[in-house]
């Protein structure tokens, strides 16, 4: 199955190169090459029945054909005219003169395409296949035929024939070398899934169109099982090899910390803390993802984890994605840890912590990526906390972990990760969820408005400022470093200053230096600025409880999960909060999308919707690498299969 396609009869160097273009290198690749679509060649429309604008298949005999060259031979039009007895169909190809050599008068041809006009009936650039007799013709006609993606010079018919013959020849191999068998039938409630080899045959040559989905599901399950097995093996290997310093602590710092907080941990916070303690007490390094909406209190829980490590005589690093956040964590942790006599340091691009000696008493270092570069070394790392992990990506995470010499790792994210993704991408992390907010939070309501409503929105914001509150205005950022964007946001800044005068407006964007940013933020925190205009920089982590209004401009440019995170900046204090999404998006889809945010504040629901609308790449961030490329499985639709795969693999002996 892993043999190269050249071991098949009829595949020489030229065909090999063409197949390679399609990502087909081995026999297995060929057998798992998913058809792009199917054509039911048992039933045809008459040419006279084809409707303008609707894709349809017909067949007919070539009654005329010809190639016209014009503009001194630089342009061409090739045309064939088909007749099936009911009507004639003109098929045209522009500037593809070589099409001429594929057709001859009286050929029978299948065509698939859309009529662009009725008089005469015409299709431009349809897909075609000349019908030939011969012993294999039953593969191509009078059945549901698979249509594959092609590349220059590779005929549909040839690829279909090759696939058919290879299926015949490798039937037995397929049975033996498919994924290790497992009993899928007992797991499928409603449908009996075919065997792996049955599904491979079915995906290429289904008896009925409904077979295609059944076969796809079976092959998707096989992919998910293989992937889960891979994760499991990786975890097992990690567990066998990696040792960590047990960091359960003895409570001598934790006790006064919790007593001094001024609030009690919520039930989910307590539960998660127990999970973390159980992990960190062991000799295996913790690998845990902590999920919770913005403001659900992840940082406090992480601080408890940090104290356990410090109580155990180890150092702790907390890495944030931006300098602002690193500084905010630094301020927070200082406030919390100073009274306990625990040293807190900051390490960013613009600020360096002093050299740390292994012999010194334990220290908590907050910082940016600079923590792991620029020669900084954390001796005796007990715990590494990574905040807002989706900005780093899996590959980077692995890199940190390796460098960190197997400390315990806690990853915090406010991006609710839909379960399908959680079970696949984070399969090598244990997951904890804080799924309830601390009590005493004000309500948060969200409204979608158009720019025509802006005067009213401004009035509303002024009203809230008059009552002592503060507001964010968020300006969409496509590229925070672009000159054009800087100009646009600066113009909006001047505009807002006029609108909100005499109230004060501050500006925060990616071009400011770390110091300038911190200056603006601390002025806003101290309520010296009433309104803060910001690019989506503030998306992560900023905490100003008195800010209760957020207006987001051009909201349609953001993803739902991102908008949800943004609005998590408000609703943090006791006052009622309001998020106004301003958008002139006209399409019903765009409006429907934003409405989801009006309707729910459940981050998981929003993430699932986002996943459906935009796909996993967008949700996890562009830099996300290590995404498995499932050929048949869908991360948006196959949650049940992903679960089943996990259950199957869990039940297997290693
Ligand atoms: P996250 O990191 O999940 O966004 P934080 O840990 O920053 O959330 O918490 C948000 C705010 O809520 C902080 O001001 C924090 O002190 C406060 N907080 C955290 N846990 C509780 C709790 N159990 N009760 C009341 N307030 C809490
Ligand atoms: Mg946070």
pLDDT tens string 259-313? 999 899 999 999 999 999 999 999 888 989 898 887 889 999 999 999 999 999 9
Ligand 1 atom nearest 293 alpha carbon? 3
Name the residue of 297, 525, 547 to mutate for ligand 1: max ligand atoms within 8 A of Cβ.
Answer: 297
pLDDT tens string 390-430? 555 555 555 555 554 578 989 888 777 776 677 666 666 78
pLDDT of 186 over the 60 cut = no
- What are residue 111's DSSP bridge partners? 58, 128
Nearest CA-CA partner of 139 in 26, 39, 27: 39
Q: How far apart, in Å, do the first and last CA atoms of the chain sit?
A: 25
Strands, E, within 421-555: which ranges?
A: 430-434, 444-449, 470-475, 505-508, 531-535, 547-552
Ligand 1 atom nearest 296 alpha carbon? 3
Beta strand 381-387 pairing with 408-413: parallel
Polymer length of the chain: 654
- What are residue 471's DSSP bridge partners? 531, 549
pLDDT of 392 reads: 52
Q: How far apart are CA 485 and CA 483, in angstroms?
A: 5
Nearest CA-CA partner of 547 in 582, 515, 512, 523: 523
Nearest CA-CA partner of 103 in 67, 133, 62: 62
Q: How far apart are CA 286 and CA 618, in angstroms?
A: 28
Where residue 625 falls among pLDDT bands split at 50, 70, 90? very low
Separation of CA 107 and ligand 2 centre (Å): 68
- Please give the DSSP secondary-structure letter assigned to residue 244: -
- Please give the DSSP secondary-structure letter assigned to residue 112: E
- What are residue 480's DSSP bridge partners? none
Q: How far apart are CA 156 and CA 133, in angstroms?
A: 15
CB atoms under 10 Å from CB of 411, counted, come to 24
Contact 326, 299 (CB under 8 A): no
pLDDT tens string 555-595? 988 888 888 888 888 887 788 999 999 999 888 888 888 99
pLDDT of 219 reads: 92
Where residue 204 falls among pLDDT bands split at 50, 70, 90? very high
Which contiguous run of DSSP H or E holds residue 287?
strand 287-292
pLDDT of 68 reads: 92
Q: How far apart are CA 581 and CA 594, in angstroms?
A: 8
Evaluate: CB of 297 within 6 angstroms of ligand 1: yes
pLDDT tens string 113-154? 899 999 999 999 998 888 887 777 778 877 899 999 998 889
Mean residue pLDDT across the chain: 85
209-241 vs 639-650: helix crossing angle, rounded to 10:
40
**Which residue, judged by its Cα, is nearest atom 24 of ligand 1?**
438
**Which residue, judged by its Cα, is nearest atom 11 of ligand 1?**
295
pLDDT tens string 165-177? 999 998 888 776 6
Percent of the chain, pLDDT > 70? Answer: 87
Evaluate: CB of 298 within 6 angstroms of ligand 1: yes
Separation of CA 276 and ligand 1 centre (Å): 18
pLDDT tens string 308-340? 999 999 999 999 887 878 888 999 999 999 999
Ligand 1 atom nearest 299 alpha carbon? 6
Q: Which residue has the tokens 């079970």?
A: 423
pLDDT of 181 over the 70 cut = no
The token duo for 124 is 């431009």
Where residue 495 falls among pLDDT bands split at 50, 70, 90? very high
Nearest CA-CA partner of 286 in 372, 384, 378, 421: 384
225: which residues sit within 8 A by CB, 6+ positions away? Answer: 179, 182, 645, 648, 649
Q: How far apart are CA 258 and CA 272, in angstroms?
A: 15
Contact 108, 60 (CB under 8 A): yes
Where residue 101 falls among pLDDT bands split at 50, 70, 90? confident
Please report the DSSP string for 78-100 in residue order.
EEEEEE-SS-EEEEEEES-GGGG
Q: How far apart are CA 191 and CA 197, in angstroms?
A: 17
The token duo for 239 is 């567990």
Task: Give pTM, 2 decimals.
Answer: 0.68
Where residue 112 falls among pLDDT bands split at 50, 70, 90? confident
pLDDT of 38 reads: 94
Stronger pLDDT, 363 or 646, i.e. the higher one:
363
pLDDT of 380 reads: 84
6: which residues sit within 8 A by CB, 6+ positions away? Answer: 12, 13, 16
Evaluate: CB of 266 within 6 angstroms of ligand 1: yes
Stronger pLDDT, 519 or 505, i.e. the higher one:
505
Mean of the pLDDT values across residues 604-614? 78
């Amino acid at each position: 199955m892993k043999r190269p396609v050249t071991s098949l009869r009829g595949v020489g160097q030229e065909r090999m190169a063409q197949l390679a273009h399609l990502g087909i290198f081995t026999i297995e690749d060929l057998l798992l090459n998913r058809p792009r679509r199917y054509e039911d060649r048992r039933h045809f429309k008459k040419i006279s029945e084809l409707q303008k604008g609707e894709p349809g298949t017909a067949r007919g005999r070539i009654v005329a054909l010809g190639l016209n060259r014009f503009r001194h031979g630089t342009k061409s039009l090739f045309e064939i005219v088909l007749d099936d007895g009911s009507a004639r169909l003109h098929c045209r190809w522009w500037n593809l003169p070589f099409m001429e050599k594929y057709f001859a008068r009286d050929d029978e041809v299948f065509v698939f395409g859309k009529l662009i006009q009725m008089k005469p009936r015409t299709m431009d650039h349809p897909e075609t296949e000349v019908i030939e007799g011969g012993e294999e013709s039953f593969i191509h006609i009078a059945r549901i035929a698979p249509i594959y993606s092609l590349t220059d010079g590779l005929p549909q018919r040839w690829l279909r024939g090759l696939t058919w013959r290879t299926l015949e020849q490798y039937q037995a191999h397929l049975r033996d070398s498919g994924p290790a068998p497992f009993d899928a039938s007992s797991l499928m409630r409603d449908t009996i899934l075919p065997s792996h080899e049955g599904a491979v045959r079915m995906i290429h040559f289904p008896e009925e169109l409904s077979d295609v989905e059944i076969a796809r599901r079976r092959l998707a399950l096989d992919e998910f099982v293989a992937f889960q097995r891979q994760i499991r093996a990786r975890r097992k290997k990690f567990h066998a090899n990696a040792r960590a310093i047990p960091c359960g602590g003895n409570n001598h710092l934790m006790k006064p910390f919790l007593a001094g907080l001024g609030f009690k941990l919520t039930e989910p916070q307590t539960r998660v803390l127990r999970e973390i303690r159980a992990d960190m007490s062991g000799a295996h390094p913790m690998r845990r993802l902590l999920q919770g909406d913005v403001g659900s209190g992840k940082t406090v829980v992480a601080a408890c984890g940090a104290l356990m490590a410090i109580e155990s005589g180890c150092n702790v690093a907390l890495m944030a994605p931006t300098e602002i956040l690193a500084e905010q964590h630094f301020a927070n942790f200082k406030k919390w840890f100073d009274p306990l006599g625990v040293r807190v340091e900051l390490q960013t691009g613009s600020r360096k912590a002093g050299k740390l000696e292994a012999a010194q008493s334990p220290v908590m270092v907050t910082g940016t990526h600079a923590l792991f570069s620029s020669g900084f070394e954390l001796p005796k790392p007990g715990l590494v906390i990574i905040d807002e992990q989706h900005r780093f990506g899996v590959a980077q995470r692995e890199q940190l972990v390796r460098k960190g010499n197997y400390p315990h790792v806690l990853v915090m994210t406010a991006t609710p990760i839909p379960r399908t993704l959680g079970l696949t991408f984070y399969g090598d992390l244990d997951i904890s969820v804080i799924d309830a907010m601390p009590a005493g939070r004000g309500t948060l309501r969200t409204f979608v408005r158009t720019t025509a409503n802006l005067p009213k929105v401004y009035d509303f914001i002024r009203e809230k400022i008059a009552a002592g509150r503060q507001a964010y205005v968020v300006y969409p950022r496509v590229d925070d470093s672009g000159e054009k964007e800087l100009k646009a946001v600066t113009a909006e800044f001047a505009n807002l200053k006029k609108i909100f005068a005499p109230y004060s407006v501050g500006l925060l964007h990616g071009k400011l230096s770390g110091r300038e940013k911190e200056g603006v933020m601390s002025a806003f925190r101290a309520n010296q600025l009433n309104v803060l205009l910001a690019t989506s920089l503030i998306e992560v982590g900023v905490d100003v409880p008195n800010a209760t209004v957020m207006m987001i401009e051009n909201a349609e440019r953001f993803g739902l999960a991102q908008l949800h995170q943004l609005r998590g900046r408000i609703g943090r204090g006791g006052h009622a909060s309001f998020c106004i999404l301003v958008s002139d998006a006209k399409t019903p889809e765009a409006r429907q999308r934003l409405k989801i945010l009006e309707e729910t504040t459940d981050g998981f629901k929003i993430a699932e919707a986002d996943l459906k609308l935009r796909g996993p790449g967008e949700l996890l961030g562009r830099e996300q690498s290590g995404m498995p490329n499932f050929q048949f499985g869908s991360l948006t639709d196959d949650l049940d299969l992903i679960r089943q795969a996990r259950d199957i693999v869990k039940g297997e002996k290693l």
